[in-house]
Structures are given as C-alpha cells and as structure tokens.
Amino acid sequence: MVLTEISVLLQSMGKNINEFDLPKITDDVNLQDAGCHELQEEYGIVLEPEHLSAKDSLNPDQKNVFDEIMMHVDNDLPGVFFIDGPGGTGKTFLYIALLAEIRSRGLIALATASLGAAANNMPGGRTAHSRFQIPLNLENNSMCNIKKQSGAAKLIRSAKVIIWDEASMAKRQAIKAVDRTFQDIIGVSLPFGGKIMVMGGDFRQVFPVIKRGTRAQIVDSSVRMSPLWSLTKKMRLTINMRALKDPWFSKFLLRVGDGTEEPIEGNYIRIPDDMTIQCNDRENAIKELIHAIFPSIEDNVYSSDYIISRAILSTKNESVDEINNQMIEIFQGEEKVYYSFDEAEDDQRNFYPVEFLNSLNISRLKIGCPIILLRNIDPSHGLCNGTRFICKGFMRNVIDAEIAVGQHAGKRVFFAKNPSNPF
C-alpha cells in the first residue's frame, strides 16, 4: 500500500517508481484503482463560504473582469486574459471569487503563481514551475516535462480555467514553454491549447531575475517581448483599488509606484509625517523602531498572528542582521543554532568560496520566532518557497514549525536536516 501511494505521487510529478531503488510492486496491485492523483486533489478542495460569497463584494472593475471571464466559461469560448493592477488592488480577491464560482459548478480551475507566497494565498494554489513542470534551464524552444499519458496532462485537459498570478515576473521562455506544451497535450493549435488562461501581475514591479544578466537579457526575458503579449493586450483588463482600511495610505503608495507623486529637490519624495517615526536618538533608533512596529512584544511573543502581521523592511543585509539580532533577544527561552554545509551546490565558477560561506552570519532561532522557507518541498500542502512559519520546537536535526499564513495556516510540520535540506 505504501509503494502504491508513493507510485501515485511520483506519477503526479512525471516520474516512475521503477526509476528509484525501491522494491517492486506485486502484480496483484492495480494502480488504476487509485485514479488520477491530480484530479482527486483538485476535486477534493474544500470551498469556504466566504470564498463563495466573494463575488458579491467585487467593485465595478472587478465585476466587469469577473463577468467577462465567466462569459467565456459559460459559452465554452477560448481566451487569454491579462489582469493588470498595482499591488493592493484586489487581484487575489478576484482570483478567489473566480476559483470558488467555477469549482462550485463541479469544474476544475487551476490556481498557479510564479511565486510560492502568491500561490499560497489562493485555495489549491501551486507554483507554476511545480504545476507545469517548467524546466529550470530554459531555452527559446523549451517544453515542459509533462508526458501526454501522465496525471498532470489529464489535469490540464480537464481544467476549465487556469489562473497564473504574478505572470509578469515569469520569464518569457517559461510562458512560451507552457503555451507550446499545452498545444501539444491538448492537440489544439490555439494559444495555450484553447484553454481559458487568466494571467495577472503588475509591470510596475521587478522584471524577471537574470543572474548577472545585462539589461538586454533582462528585457528579452520579459513577458512583454513574447508574441503572446500582443494577444493578451487585446484582452487586457485593468482593475482599480478596492476599499482598503487606509485608502489615503494606499493611494500614496500607488502614486509613488506610478511615478505621479510630486518630487521635491529633484528626485526625492517627501514621506508624510503620518508614515514616519520621529527619533532624535540615533543610538536607540532601532529599539524605537521595534517598539513602534511591535508594541508590547514581550506579551505577544507566542502569538503567531501578532508576529506575522508585522514586519520591518530594510535595504541592506547588515541592517537586517542588526535588527534581527535585537529582535531575537526579546524572545524567551534558549536559542538554537543549526550548522549547515560549507559548500554551495552547482557553483561551477566558484562564485561562493568556502571562505565567503564561513563569513556569513549564523541564524539564531528561538521558540516563537518566524522563519521562511526558501525552496519548494510540498507545494500542494503549503510547503513552498516564501511560506512563513513560527518555530514551535527544536530537536537535534529537526525543526518543529507551524505554518503561519495562507490556506494551510495552523498546520504543524517538521523539517529534517539532510544533504538536500541543510536548513
């Protein structure tokens, strides 16, 4: 039974159990009885009441987008949409409404995102690389690692709508690989095999990251350089700001992001007094900042909601280290230090010599402090890049943590130290 379950999971990842050094499954086990793991997983997503009622709270722009996409769903029409809007305008809220409405009809709607943190904000969300098996090393003619007979291919053929959040941060080659793969799997020569594709993002944010890339390489990797962009541009849907708790604050940030905030003394922008913390003592500036962002932290060090709902951003690593060192002292109990491996994987050009790795600061952990996951371990259960956790306990080679955000918030997980997961 264990081997059968492992085989089903491996099939969902495009692998075969025979490729690994495991005992053979006896002939009396019928894998067909297990069904398609991917389809079972999607049909098993629980619809929350607040998600089902989300469509009643859409603003006019969101409602127009919702109705346009649902019209294509109702009439079984292909379409490629791009939802454009700055951060905080309610794109994720719109995705949740679309997913709930489509799934409530017994149809499959896939939720994906370029970033793990964004995928975790949608019910059933997965990273695009995980869902579509996008190669890490992309070329202009790359294909996704999905076999036509695999469960992933069946899921794509069965999907009514596919949502791809933060698509603006994906490489052009990745989107073209997905487009090319869909056409091959479905057998239809329309964009994305004729599927209803809903991509979203904000081009005011960063371009795709190219390691040590030139400006030309970075621009070449952008979605805007893809022929698909001209198609989505025709069906580009813009949404404006939802009613937030502090609309004045949000509008100021949007003006800065759009470049419409009036500058002073050349290229400077004056931050309003309501958004600053007055401090005349430079030596105690960080302590006052911590006290302002984390008031009464001593009484709330074990409250996950309190810790996760606040954050201090910094532009330099040394400032981050200084703030974290002062923050960790506030938490109660003994601290734990885990030593990692002193070598970097796939560092063929020796960008990270041992001397450099040994010079890095050691991360200190205490019960109650937040940590973040930097790789995709099990995206379907919330263990993806960008997921935040609260430390609940430490063992010699294991960290006991609780997922703090997203649809899997409150779930306890254990991270074991091994060569592929060195903390």
Cα–Cα dist 159/102, whole Å? 10
Rg (C-alpha) for the chain, rounded Å, is: 24
pLDDT mean values, one per 10 residues, the chain (423 residues): 80 74 72 63 86 90 90 91 81 92 93 84 86 86 87 90 90 90 92 91 75 78 66 57 54 75 82 79 83 85 82 85 85 77 69 71 80 77 81 87 83 77 57
- Looking at the chain, which residues constitute the CATH 3.40.50.300 domain(s)? 51-238
* pLDDT 10s digits, 342-395: 667 677 777 777 777 766 666 678 888 888 887 777 776 778 777 889 888 888
Helix (H) or strand (E) holding 218: helix 215-220
Place of tokens 């997913």: 99
Does CATH place domain 51-238 in 3.90.78.10?
A: no
Q: Is the alpha carbon torsion for 256, 258, 259, 262 positive or negative?
A: negative
Residues 127, 114 contacting (CB under 8 angstroms): yes
Q: Are 184 and 143 in contact (CB under 8 A)?
A: yes
CA 135 to chain centre: 17
pTM score, whole prediction: 0.70
Contacts of 98 (CB under 8 A, 6+ apart): 66, 69, 70, 109, 161, 163, 198
Sheet holding 126-127, edge to edge: 126-127, 108-113, 159-165, 196-201, 79-84, 236-238
Please report the pLDDT score of residue 245 as a whole number. 47
Work out the number of other CB atoms within 10 angstroms of the CB of residue 253: 15
Closest CA to 150 of 264, 304, 293, 36: 36
Taking phi over 0 as left and psi of -120 to 50 as alpha, with beta for the rest, 238 belongs to beta
184-215 pLDDT tens trace:
999 998 989 999 999 988 877 777 777 777 88
